[in-house]
Amino acid sequence: MKKLMISTALSLALALPAAAQDPDPNARPGGDIIITYKDDVATLDPAIGYDWQNWSMIKSVFDGLMDYEPGTTTLRPGLAESYEMSEDGLTYTFHLRPGVKFHNGREMVAEDVKYSLDRVTDPETQSPGAGFFGSIKGYDEAASGAAKGLSGVTVIDPATVQIELSRPDATFLHIMALNFSYVVPKEAVEEFGADFGKHPVGTGAYSLGEWSIGQKLVFRKNPDYWIAGIPYLDSITVEIGQEPVVALLRLQNGEVDVPGDGIPPAKFQEVMSDPEQAARVVEGGQLHTGYVTMNVTTPPFDKPEVRRAVNMALNKDRIVQMINNRAVPANQPLPPSMPGYTADYAGYAFDVEAAKKLMADAGLADGVETELYVMNTDPNPRIAQAIQQDLSQIGIRAEIRALAQANVIEAGGNGSAPMIWSGGMAWIADFPDPSNFYGPILGCAGAEPGGWNWAKYCNADLDAAATAADGMVAADQADARLSAWSDIYMKVMEDAPWAPVFNEQRFTMKSPRMGGADALYVDPVSIPINYDYVYVSE
């Protein structure tokens, strides 16, 4: 027996289907903008791309079954016009939007959805995101290569696809909105093979027009896009290989519309103190937390008192000042804009005397030596020095190890780093759900060698609570689920494997002619900006 059930977020979106799709009254179609980036765009293959800069480009070239309201974390239907979930939460039936065409002119059908999900979980694809699909029935067999394709994904008819799960998963619809689940046409993937990422064909608002390797990419408007009137721009040119400082100079010169890498730290004060320029900077929260991990399996951090003392010793306000107030102090793992954030939690107060007392309680009144690992790019070594100073106040003498990113990640994964300042490698949510901050970085699975749980913190009770929370799939359980997650993070703070330091804010600068709601420029999902809905006014 199946019952029609739609999550609260979605029913809201369905009740007002035109809310975000309605053209912005001020929007003017047409125009071409220039975005710059320092690093190459590695690939536009949605099964593979997992970079800062290609993330929202892929979102503009491809679509998933689910999508988000522009500028928000609210789910809405994408390629699926509607869906049903069975009462036990184990079966989802998606009804595809009719008449959606790939850039090659062929109509997108249910078979493409199945092909795309089979492809991303096929070990030969080497997708970094394969693990997100672990709740789909048949994932283990497909991922290990024992079976070809996911047995849980069935094509009912060309317009209907059914996905069976092996366990209820409250994050499943977010997964269906994640880049890795985006729908690709089989014939194009087979034609280009491993080079599909350089010749992407999707259903998205833009198609790739031109790609000169190492120089630029040109995205052209898809005139047949399934949302009428979208996108506004005729084309987007992404210029590659420009230092952030150079990009800023060019923006000031009127040659660039959005510097993709943001405002370089060294220029931040200068820009913000000029009212004309500051007015063109959009500030927004992001799903990011910067933290110090303490390896709970090695002394002195095997003692909870020491970990709590560290939490109390850090002067977070001073650290935030050091980075020109580009962040807000944090007291828990979740960032404030994430559902499930505990707003009334006070956190560990900055209190050196109390911290010293905790150290004495732990039998370390005479102090202790340790190491603090940090990524070697500005401002991280400076932040590490501030942390080092704060820690020395309570007798923890931390030696700073500033290394390249890959080396810090390695030391964190294999457990040889007692403390790590996460700057430059910190967790930014893949999708806006509290569970995304737990499993890989605080759960037992991530504590395995090579995992991203650098504190090596593993609390079986919390793992069980997390599984239970993600099993709450019914619409009327949504609030209970968020409070369950809030409890989990509060327990984490009691054990204190991390000292949360700050939540970075995003600052996107744009040229005077760029139009569209500010939220589009700090879109929590389409990072850095939502290319589909911005426009130019001139």
Binding site for other proteins (CB under 8 A): 39-40, 42-43, 45, 48, 50, 123-124, 126-132, 134, 143-144, 194-195, 197-198, 212-215, 239-243, 245-246, 249-250, 253, 255, 404-407, 409-411, 413, 427, 430, 440, 445, 448, 450-452
Token pair of 491, please?
């327990």
Cβ proximity to other proteins, 163 vs 411, nearer residue: 411
Q: Answer whether 303's CB lies under 8 Å from 309's CB.
A: no
Residue 118: CB minimum distance to other proteins, A: 15
Residue 440: CB minimum distance to other proteins, A: 6
Cβ proximity to other proteins, 126 vs 537, nearer residue: 126
Cβ proximity to other proteins, 454 vs 531, nearer residue: 454
Q: Answer whether 205's CB lies under 8 Å from 70's CB.
A: no
- Using DSSP's 3-state secondary structure scheme, residue 12 falls into helix
Cβ proximity to other proteins, 149 vs 347, nearer residue: 149
Please give the Cα distance from 327 to 66 (Å, whole number).
31
Residue 82, strand partner residues:
95
Cβ proximity to other proteins, 232 vs 431, nearer residue: 431
Q: Answer whether 409's CB lies under 8 Å from 362's CB.
A: no
Task: Compute the residue count for the chain.
Answer: 538
Amino acid (1-letter code) at residue 527: I
Residue 474: CA count within 13 A, CB half-sphere:
6
Phi-psi region of 101 (alpha: psi -120 to 50; beta: other; left: phi over 0): beta
Residue 504, strand partner residues:
327
Cβ proximity to other proteins, 108 vs 447, nearer residue: 447
User: CA angle 62-20-45, nearest 5°?
Assistant: 10
Which residue spans within 206-278 are E strands per DSSP? 206-212, 216-221, 235-240, 258-259
Residue 9: CB minimum distance to other proteins, A: 22
Residue 154: CB minimum distance to other proteins, A: 24
- Using DSSP's 3-state secondary structure scheme, residue 8 falls into helix
- The H-or-E segment that residue 289 falls in is strand 288-294
Query: What are the respective helix, strand and coil percentages of the chain, to the nearest 5?
Result: 35, 20, 45
Residue 31: CB minimum distance to other proteins, A: 21
Residue 150: CB minimum distance to other proteins, A: 15
Residue 151: CB minimum distance to other proteins, A: 18
Q: Answer whether 197's CB lies under 8 Å from 208's CB.
A: no
Cβ proximity to other proteins, 36 vs 311, nearer residue: 36
Please give the Cα distance from 434 to 333 (Å, whole number).
10
Cβ proximity to other proteins, 245 vs 478, nearer residue: 245
Q: What is the CB neighbour count within 10 angstroms for residue 11?
A: 11
Residue 94: CB minimum distance to other proteins, A: 23
Residue 197: CB minimum distance to other proteins, A: 6
Cβ proximity to other proteins, 168 vs 244, nearer residue: 244
